[in-house]
């Protein structure tokens, strides 16, 4: 039987190329490659360039996915909504999509952030807005802390500054798991169904074969991904109280079971009075995929307020 998820991914990649997205592999260091999807807005300005008029610049926008799927699968609906106004940079996390490393370095959010920052610099990005979902938010916060000249501002969905032991234990208790690998790297078709149910406000009914196809395609690089999850949780006392100089907005699913509204409100309080928290009703942890139209509407307004001035 043909795997429907594999077929969809193939069609999605072709569709992304049709709307102007390009697939780029950027070598960070020897043995470490970050795969990006990048749109090319230069074509929109060919006529102006021929008339010797300066090319209109678009604000660079970096979309960082969470610990499921890859960049283009996670942000497919946002690409279609944002591609004409922004220069999009969508990296794959290491051991997701086309990104990989042969380095024996422990892959933490900081290591991912270092790789993304180097990759963006090589692609010519000097300043950007970062949008991070879940694990992508951990990476985004690390980028903002350690590369303040690169990250101008952020929008964060379903994430925290760092996954401390106390936040982690409460989140796992809410969803009924003992560890993050047990939840995020299921070893059965039923485990895939539970993962999506817990991450959604109301996941629609799907035939069992759908979850089987997801299981066959979406959970490769198991050893490496488990190691990434094991490196994610940090002791409470090791969470730095960094004072971000960037503008940060939080965009949250009201029914996020993993990082619930209590977590969101605590994060807002910690980040300070200038941080805005916007809540999407009838949305869970995977708000960009679950309610793309509502998410995009809110995201566009936030990005308009954060847009980098050229």
Percent of the chain at pLDDT exceeding 70: 93
Domain ranges in the chain are 35-271+281-306
* Rounded mean pLDDT, 171-198: 97
- Mean pLDDT, the chain, integer: 93
Q: Which class would CATH give 35-271+281-306?
A: alpha beta
For the stretch 207-253, pLDDT in tens is 999 999 999 999 999 999 999 999 999 999 988 888 999 999 999 99
The pLDDT score that the predictor gives to residue 46 is 44
Those residues with Cβ within 8 angstroms of residue 178's Cβ, 6 or more apart along the chain or in another chain: 172
The pLDDT score that the predictor gives to residue 55 is 57
As a whole number of Å, the end-to-end CA separation of the chain is 52
In terms of Cα–Cα distance, which of 184, 103, 117 is closest to 145?
Answer: 117
CA distance 252 to 281: 9
Q: How confident is the model at residue 96 (pLDDT cuts 50, 70, 90)?
A: very high
For the stretch 266-280, pLDDT in tens is 999 999 988 999 999
Above 70 in pLDDT, residue 195?
yes
What distances in angstroms separate CA 71 from CA 79, 91, 101, 189, one per listed residue?
10, 6, 17, 23
* Rounded mean pLDDT, 287-295: 96
0.75 surpassed by pTM:
yes
- The answer to whether the CB of 268 falls within 8 A of the CB of 250 is yes
Above 70 in pLDDT, residue 293?
yes
């Amino acid at each position: 039987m043909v795997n429907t998820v594999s077929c969809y991914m193939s069609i999605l990649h072709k569709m992304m190329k049709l709307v102007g997205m390009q697939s780029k592999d950027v070598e960070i260091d020897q043995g470490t490659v970050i795969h990006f999807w990048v749109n090319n807005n230069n074509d929109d300005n060919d006529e102006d360039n021929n008339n010797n008029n300066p090319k209109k610049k678009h604000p660079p926008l970096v979309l960082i996915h969470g610990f499921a799927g890859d960049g283009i699968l996670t942000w497919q609906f946002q690409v279609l909504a944002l591609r004409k106004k922004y220069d999009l940079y969508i990296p794959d996390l290491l051991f997701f999509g086309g990104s990989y490393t042969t380095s024996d370095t422990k892959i933490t959010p900081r290591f991912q952030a270092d790789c993304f920052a180097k990759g963006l610099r090589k692609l010519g990005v000097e300043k950007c807005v970062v949008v991070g979902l879940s694990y992508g938010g951990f990476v985004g916060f690390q980028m903002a802390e350690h590369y303040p000249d690169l990250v101008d501002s952020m929008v964060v969905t379903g994430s925290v500054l760092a996954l401390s032991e106390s936040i982690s234990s409460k989140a796992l208790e809410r969803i009924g798991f003992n560890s993050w690998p047990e939840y995020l790297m299921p070893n059965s078709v039923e485990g895939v169904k539970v993962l999506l149910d817990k991450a959604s406000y109301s996941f629609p009914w799907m035939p069992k074969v759908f979850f089987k196809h997801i299981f066959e395609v979406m959970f490769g690089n198991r050893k490496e991904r488990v190691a990434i999850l094991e490196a994610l949780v940090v002791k409470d006392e090791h969470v730095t109280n960094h004072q971000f100089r960037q503008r940060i907005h939080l965009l949250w699913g009201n029914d996020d079971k993993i990082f619930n509204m209590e977590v969101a409100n605590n994060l807002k309080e910690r980040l300070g009075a200038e941080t805005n928290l916007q809540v999407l009703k009838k949305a869970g942890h995977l708000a960009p995929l679950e309610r793309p139209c509502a998410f995009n509407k809110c995201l566009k307004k936030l990005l308009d307020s954060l847009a980098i001035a050229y």
